[in-house]
Amino acid sequence: MPERKKLLQVKHLKQYFTSGKSTVKAVDDVTFDIYEGETFGLVGESGSGKTTTGRSIIRLYDPTDGEIIFDGKDVSKLKSRADKREFNRKMQMIFQDPYASLNPRMTVEDIIAEGIDIHGLAKSKKERSEMVENLLETVGLNRDHASRYPHEFSGGQRQRIGIARALAVQPKFIIADEPISALDVSIQAQVVNLLKDLQEEKGLTYLFIAHDLSMVKFISDRIGVMHYGRLLEVGPADDVYDKPLHDYTKSLISAVPIPDPEIERQRHRIDYDPSIEGDDGDKVRSLHEITPGHFVRCTDDEVEMYKKKAAEYEK
């Protein structure tokens, strides 16, 4: 395999929130890389820290500790306005709720063009309108939708507007935080296919955050599984889904309902005991590579056990 370029490196990211005396470790020592042109899926249940991780990466939060290196630069050390601006242009976000993430008092054109204006990407009003109209077509909407307001659109259409807004500044990297979970099944497929097509066309890199494992498996090249603010398992999508190593991943996969009655009748749900990931006493856990590219969070002593597990899948 040729050496691929790491577009994003997250190193020992910690994001703590304090309220009064208590500290919530929303993200606790998370490390992963995202290669250029791939889709990295981050899955976990509510409270696992997957959304916080995404928000810390795009600097909606100031990380408590750790490094985020994007395109070769440490994003927390960007000092000059120009550098910050460049970062904000290259990294964009698509949000979960297509109703809350579009300003109801702005026209679609102004929503999409906000980034274009800020970054001065259009030289004239005419060019600005042209860019917006092209973007609308790219995401499968009509050119004349530009003068309308968000309330005139359905959920799926609004999500397309959100995607057009993210694309407007020609980013390299897009964080999609549960972009389809508010949509109907038939519309979900439309949006996922659109994201896939855009990736191919524009060479985009995605961080796809979701709780729906089957959809994440479908769209991602690699998957990371989070729980209690920790990254428990990382690996190629098929490996994580078909040959899960961590007990939490197994329980998560065993809970995903499959639209096939025969499979459902034979479903065997695996319960998970979270104590195995706790930091009991002086045991230190970190990510260990078990099979090529497939990592699990465990102690040094547990590596052998996981290697055996991985070998069993090969039989």
Partner 1 sequence: MAERILDVKNLKVDFHTYAGEVKAIRDVSFHLDKGETLAIVGESGSGKSVTTKAIIGLLANNAKVVGGEINFNGQDILKKSEKEMQSVRGKEISMIFQDPMTSLDPTMKIGQQIAEPLMKHKGMNKKDAWAKALDMLKAVGITNAEKRINDYPHQFSGGMRQRIVIAIALVCDPEILIADEPTTALDVTVQAQILDLMKEMQAKVKTSIIFITHDLGVVAGMADRVAVMYAGELLEYGTVDEVFYNPQHPYTWGLLNSMPTLASDKLESIPGTPPDLLDPPKGDPFAPRNPYAMKIDAEQKPPFFKVSDTHYAATWLLHPDAPKVTPPEEIVRRQEKYAELMAKKKD
Among 69, 169, 187, 276, binds partner 1 (CB under 8 A): 187
> For residues 31 and 157, which CB has a smaller minimum distance to partner 1 in the complex?
157
* Cα R_g (the chain), whole angstroms: 21
We find the least distance from the C-beta atom of residue 140 to partner 1, in angstroms, to be 10
Cα–chain-centroid distance for residue 202?
18
The rounded distance, in Å, linking the Cα atoms of 6 and 37 is 10
The rounded distance, in Å, linking the Cα atoms of 137 and 160 is 10
We find the least distance from the C-beta atom of residue 134 to partner 1, in angstroms, to be 21
Residue position matching structure tokens 């547990």: 302
We find the least distance from the C-beta atom of residue 189 to partner 1, in angstroms, to be 4
We find the least distance from the C-beta atom of residue 288 to partner 1, in angstroms, to be 25
> For residues 7 and 26, which CB has a smaller minimum distance to partner 1 in the complex?
26
What b/e readout covers 69-87, taking b as 16+ CB neighbours within 10 angstroms?
Answer: bbbeeebeebeeeeeeeeb
Residue 294 burial by Cβ neighbours in a 10 Å radius (0-12, 13-18, 19+): buried
Residues within window 71-110 making contact with partner 1, judged by CB under 8 A: none
Residues within window 130-159 making contact with partner 1, judged by CB under 8 A: 154-157
Q: Binding marks (x or -) toward partner 1, 237..256, rule CB under 8 A?
A: --------------xx-xxx
Length of the chain: 315
Among 19, 22, 46, 80, binds partner 1 (CB under 8 A): 46
Site residues (vs partner 1, CB under 8 A): 45-46, 154-157, 184-190, 192-193, 211, 213-215, 217-218, 251-252, 254-265, 267, 269, 272
